[in-house]
Amino acid sequence: MIVVKVGGSAGINYDLVCDDIAALVREGNPLILIHGGSHETNVISEKLGKPPRILTSPQGYTSRYTDAETMDIFAMVYAGKMNTRIVERLLKRGINAIGLSGLDGRLLVGPRKTSVRAVENGRQILVRDDYTGKVESVNTALLDLLLGAGYTPVISPPACSTQGEAINVDGDRAAAMIASAIGAKQLIILSNVPGLLRRFPDESTLIPALRYAELEQALDFAEGRMKKKVLGASEAIAGGVEQVIFADARIAQPVRMAAAGKGTVISR
Amino acid sequence: MIVVKVGGSAGINYDLVCDDIAALVREGNPLILIHGGSHETNVISEKLGKPPRILTSPQGYTSRYTDAETMDIFAMVYAGKMNTRIVERLLKRGINAIGLSGLDGRLLVGPRKTSVRAVENGRQILVRDDYTGKVESVNTALLDLLLGAGYTPVISPPACSTQGEAINVDGDRAAAMIASAIGAKQLIILSNVPGLLRRFPDESTLIPALRYAELEQALDFAEGRMKKKVLGASEAIAGGVEQVIFADARIAQPVRMAAAGKGTVISR
């Protein structure tokens, strides 16, 4: 089983990603795709007059402030536009894709944070109307049911809170939970950079390989969104995944190149 | 098996609809829900600076002009916001709902119209960049798979063209195809009117019962969007459904009330 996460940043070529995935599935490799949508959510949020607000935790992790109105936009872009268009790309390539959000069949479940601590203008604030959380369990029976019947699941946030609410969860960490839950050997995380860079954005400082024990140190130099990917990698390996590979979504055959080790290979 | 279509017009109370559906499912009635999203699509289209354009066919049927940009908005609202929020409502009520568009697993497939004839300012025009079509086949194996595992499918347009493209299809006619394909005895079509009115919008002119043979005549006085519902009813009954009931989505227990005959009951 291959688990692939493709990010939602600007510059990602979903046609190349879907070309590669379709070929892999046709060759007999069952696959689960998880995708993001952050860039497009920013674009649509601006157009709808609800500009994105990014919260930064005291530890330096960033997340989207997601009140009820933002969740509507988030669901529209992730589960609506992005998911539909990725499923459509795979269908056109002959793959029987099926789109799911984490709410569908309670696929991705976890607690909603009752409050979120953030730093704004140097002061700590507590945000209480935020619909965010963390995936703690995966409905693997649903994935097995669909994979067993020949479907290729295409999964996106939002997830489902333990109370049944739509919650914004980090896609990389959700992918890590999925890969662990189904016992995948490899988790491939594609984005608009070639992997983990020691000095972002200098692509010549790509780190080709890292051990699990070195991940905590990597959090120090990982920039912005890459921090969550490092956290996801750490959680995936702690959950039994053998290799997590950060790789480039902008090139031809991005999944194959990643699986062959092009990017940053993180292993136990 | 109960097949329920709930419209997407203004004024529909989805909480009441989901209360009733959740109770019915808990009582052991398997159910498939199909929903619309036209009003919200109009609202979001306006906000995004792409006002809706409605095409009227020479026969007087109306449909949304759906170019690629409109399809993005359509997918955002139907498969994103509306579907996610309806699934969320059912999850909160303890029902294991699963949201699907017609693309997912090629659930609803039909040909895309290569061109659409419309009347504008008294002249016939031919529209060629429209992504619309008509559902001709339903992936009942996927519905059986999910229902058999205890999930409640929540389905919305877009559908899937024979080439794998996202296409806008009428939700009422899609619901008719689903009801026929799975051999449902009743198809309940809920909207923001109490049923078929002889003189719209005078609700005192509600028609309580109609025979299949009278449907063609009903097309003459059915207003705007009701025309497509009449067409859907006709197709459902031709497809083997025993009763199609047009009923009010704005009241308590709307599904139960409809199933008991409150509304317009159309039968063979």
Q: Quick check: A158 contacting B, CB < 8 Å?
A: yes
Question: What's the pLDDT at A94?
Answer: 98
Q: Quick check: B67 contacting A, CB < 8 Å?
A: no
**Is A96 within 8 Å of B105 when comparing Cβ atoms?**
yes
Write out pLDDT tens, residues A168-223.
999 999 999 999 999 999 999 999 999 999 999 999 999 999 999 999 999 989 98
Write out pLDDT tens, residues B178-226.
999 999 999 999 999 999 999 999 999 999 999 999 999 999 899 878 9
**Is A80 within 8 Å of B81 when comparing Cβ atoms?**
yes
Average pLDDT score over residue span B86-114: 97
Interface test with A, best of B88, B90, B165 (most A CBs within 10 A): B88
Average pLDDT score over residue span B155-169: 98
- Tell me: pLDDT of A114 over 90: no
Question: What's the pLDDT at A210?
Answer: 97
Question: What's the pLDDT at B6?
Answer: 98
Q: Quick check: A97 contacting B, CB < 8 Å?
A: yes
Interface test with B, best of A77, A91, A145 (most B CBs within 10 A): A91
A256-265: long-range pairs with CB below 8 Å, 24+: A256/A20, A256/A24, A258/A188, A258/A190, A259/A2, A259/A186, A259/A188, A261/A208, A262/A194, A263/A194, A263/A195, A263/A206, A263/A208, A264/A195, A264/A196, A264/A206, A264/A207, A264/A208, A264/A209, A264/A210, A265/A208, A265/A209, A265/A210
Closest-CA residue in chain B for A139? Answer: B96
Average pLDDT score over residue span A151-165: 98
Question: What's the pLDDT at B224?
Answer: 79
Interface test with A, best of B69, B71, B74, B76 (most A CBs within 10 A): B76
DSSP B240: T
Question: What's the pLDDT at B225?
Answer: 82
Taking the CA of residue B187 and the nearest CA in chain A, the distance in Å comes to 24
- CA dihedral (A205, A211, A215, A218) in degrees, to 10, reads -20
- Tell me: pLDDT of B100 over 90: yes
User: Do A230 and A244 meet the contact criterion of CB atoms below 8 Å apart?
Assistant: no
Question: What's the pLDDT at B53?
Answer: 96
Average pLDDT score over residue span B243-265: 97
Question: What's the pLDDT at B118?
Answer: 95
Percent of chain A with pLDDT over 70: 100
Q: What is the mean pLDDT of chain A?
A: 96
Question: What's the pLDDT at A98?
Answer: 98
Judging by beta carbons within 10 Å of its beta carbon (0-12, 13-18, 19+), is residue A163 exposed, middle or buried? exposed
Percent of chain B with pLDDT over 90: 95
Write out pLDDT tens, residues B127-140.
999 999 999 999 99
Closest-CA residue in chain B for A163? Answer: B92
Question: What's the pLDDT at B61?
Answer: 87
Question: What's the pLDDT at A187?
Answer: 98
Question: What's the pLDDT at B194?
Answer: 96
Q: What does the angle CA B167 – CA B108 – CA A107 come to, to the nearest 5 degrees?
A: 105
How many Å separate Cα B205 from the centre of its chain?
23
Q: Which domain holds residue B141?
A: 2-267
| Residues B171, B36: Cα–Cα separation, whole Å | 6
Question: What's the pLDDT at A225?
Answer: 82
Q: CB-hemisphere CA count at 13 Å for A48?
A: 20
**Is B165 within 8 Å of A88 when comparing Cβ atoms?**
yes
- Tell me: pLDDT of A61 over 90: no
**Is A106 within 8 Å of B91 when comparing Cβ atoms?**
yes
Cβ-based contacts of A98 with chain B (< 8 Å): 100, 104-105, 142
Question: What's the pLDDT at B93?
Answer: 98
Q: What is the mean pLDDT of chain B?
A: 96
> What is the value of pTM for the model shown?
0.97
Q: Give the closest of B75, B94, B145 to A149, CB-based.
A: B145
ipTM of predicted complex: 0.97
In total, how many domains does chain A have?
A: 1
Q: Quick check: B104 contacting A, CB < 8 Å?
A: yes
**Is A75 within 8 Å of B85 when comparing Cβ atoms?**
yes
Taking the CA of residue A84 and the nearest CA in chain B, the distance in Å comes to 7
Q: Quick check: A43 contacting B, CB < 8 Å?
A: no
- Tell me: pLDDT of A60 over 90: no
Write out pLDDT tens, residues A81-111.
999 999 999 999 999 999 999 999 999 999 9
Question: For the domain that residue B164 is a member of, what is the CATH number?
Answer: 3.40.1160.10
Q: Predicted confidence band at B60 (pLDDT cuts at 50, 70, 90)?
A: confident
